[in-house]
Amino acid sequence: MDRPENVPFLDLRAIHARREARLMEAIRGVVRGGRYVLGPQVEAFEREFAAYCGTRHCIGVANGLDALTLIFEGYREMGQLSPGDEVIVPANTYIASILAVSRAGLTPVLVEPHPASLNLDPEQVSAKITQRTRAILAVHLYGTVTDMTPLRALAKAHGLKVVEDAAQAHGAAWRGTRAGALGDAAGFSFYPSKNLGALGDGGAVTTDDDRLAETIRALRNYGSSAKNENRFKGLNSRLDELQAAVLGVGLEYLEEDNARRRAIARRYLAEIGNPSVTLPAAVADRESAWHLFVLRAPDREALGRHLAGQGIETAVHYPIPPHKQEAYREWNSLSFPLTEAIHREVLSLPMGPHLSDAQVDRVIAAVNGYPSR
Ligand SMILES: *Cc1c(COP(=O)(O)O)cnc(C)c1O
């Protein structure tokens, strides 16, 4: 047991302990059912998650990176994207968003985010559109969806696809429509720490596009849609039956979990009042899933140490921007001052359904007490 005064950043063991009976029942069902890959559990979860997001299709895949990559590869197989086509991505995203574009043989074009929302800034997007631009990757960072109105207008005017990176935004909504149903296609991750997490890796694509869905269904399974017939040079990226069964249980709790996250975020926003920290923007037309509660502090290391001294665990999402990573050494000399400032200043507070009201009190008091004397 954690000492009662400790506030963990996230506690998956505690979250799963509360639903252990349901999880074990689901797992036992798979063990006894004898089907372990592409069987009834995956079919049921795909149906349920599509209904939850409000899309015609959901295709379960091995992880979030594959979900995003397969969307771009699917469009390539359909002749709607070609090698070297440009995809606009926010420079401050988690690197997986950008890796998906690269892995599909397309060219990521980085843009600075909006300084308040930290999501795509339509003015920056507009300035980077060229003859080769074919798609915009809207990353709903930290669980708050991107403002879709200006992006849709730009996409329409320039004939671009809008792909959502919804890996942090299960259940987030924009004017009543959930993430996953806001663009042409969306990629989700079910990595254990996400709002809807598996007991291992998992991912999914959601879309209303029948042809894209059918193409990705084939691509995830060696490029095959009929036994022993291969239409594409596909890969093996399937959601397995065990994870699908676990995710089916998690989906039953997602709304409740997100409601708890929203209640915690409302308290942080209302009760943290420290001039040396900047709180995240709460956007009226966007119901955030609050995957992370990320504040900014000029000296986040000192704030992190102050909180750690009071038993409060924090995290940094993310310390190094993608264009400064060795993987993208060709971009290392590029300058994105806002993105670089964000990566220097962000600090994520404990967030999740594991937190008690007393723990939330402790976090608020500790942030308000910084700097302490
Ligand atoms: C987690 C995440 C991914 C990648 O998902 P995996 O399942 O870990 O491959 C992609 N984009 C964002 C924004 C993420 O947070």
Q: In this structure, which residue's CA is closest to atom 5 in ligand 1?
A: 64
Whether 273 and 334 have beta carbons less than 8 Å apart is answered as: no
| Structure token digits, residue 248 | 């089916």
| Average pLDDT, integer, range 202-227 | 97
Task: Measure 258 CA to ligand 1 centroid, in angstroms.
Answer: 18
**For the chain, how long is the longest CA-to-CA vector?**
71
CA–CA distance, 207 with 185 (Å, rounded to integer): 4
Ordered DSSP codes for 293-336 = EEEE-TTHHHHHHHHHHTTB--B-S-SS-GGGSGGGGGGTT---
Whether 138 and 121 have beta carbons less than 8 Å apart is answered as: no
Task: Measure 54 CA to ligand 1 centroid, in angstroms.
Answer: 21
* pLDDT-based confidence at residue 372 (cuts at 50, 70, 90): low
Ligand 1: does its nearest atom lie under 6 Å from the Cβ of 142?
Answer: no
| Structure token digits, residue 300 | 């986040």
pLDDT tens, residue by residue, 145-197? 999 999 999 999 999 999 999 999 999 999 999 999 999 999 999 999 999 99
Using the atom order of ligand 1, give the atom closest to the CA of residue 191.
7
**Looking at the DSSP assignment, which residues form a beta bridge with residue 207?**
57, 185
Ligand 1: does its nearest atom lie under 6 Å from the Cβ of 70?
Answer: no
Task: Measure 217 CA to ligand 1 centroid, in angstroms.
Answer: 20
Whether 234 and 218 have beta carbons less than 8 Å apart is answered as: yes
How high does pLDDT run on average in the chain?
96
Using the atom order of ligand 1, give the atom closest to the CA of residue 100.
10
Q: Are strands 133-139 and 86-90 parallel, antiparallel or unpaired?
A: parallel
Task: Measure 67 CA to ligand 1 centroid, in angstroms.
Answer: 9
Model pLDDT, residue 94: 98
pLDDT tens, residue by residue, 250-265? 999 999 999 999 999 9
The residue behind tokens 């950043």 is 9
CA–CA distance, 284 with 369 (Å, rounded to integer): 29
Task: Measure 64 CA to ligand 1 centroid, in angstroms.
Answer: 5
| Average pLDDT, integer, range 263-292 | 93
Q: List alpha helices for the chain, DSSP H.
A: 12-17, 20-33, 40-53, 64-77, 95-103, 122-128, 148-158, 210-219, 241-271, 300-309, 337-345, 357-368
Half-sphere exposure of 192 (CA within 13 A, CB side): 9
Ligand 1: does its nearest atom lie under 6 Å from the Cβ of 122?
Answer: no
CA–CA distance, 104 with 69 (Å, rounded to integer): 6
What b-and-e string marks burial along 260-287, b requiring 16 or more CB atoms within 10 Å of the CB? bbbebbebbeeebebeebebbeeeeebb
Whether 50 and 56 have beta carbons less than 8 Å apart is answered as: yes
Q: How far apart are the first and last CA of the chain?
A: 31
Q: Which residue, 200, 156, 172, is CA-closest to 30?
A: 200
CA–CA distance, 306 with 366 (Å, rounded to integer): 8
Supply φ then ψ for residue 181, to 5 degrees: -120, 15
CA–CA distance, 130 with 159 (Å, rounded to integer): 12
* C-alpha to C-alpha distances, 172 to 90, 151, 244, 254, 293, nearest whole angstrom: 19, 18, 21, 11, 14
* pLDDT-based confidence at residue 283 (cuts at 50, 70, 90): confident
Task: Measure 229 CA to ligand 1 centroid, in angstroms.
Answer: 31
| Average pLDDT, integer, range 202-219 | 98
CA–CA distance, 90 with 110 (Å, rounded to integer): 6
Supply φ then ψ for residue 24, to 5 degrees: -65, -40
pLDDT exceeds cutoff 90 at 97: yes
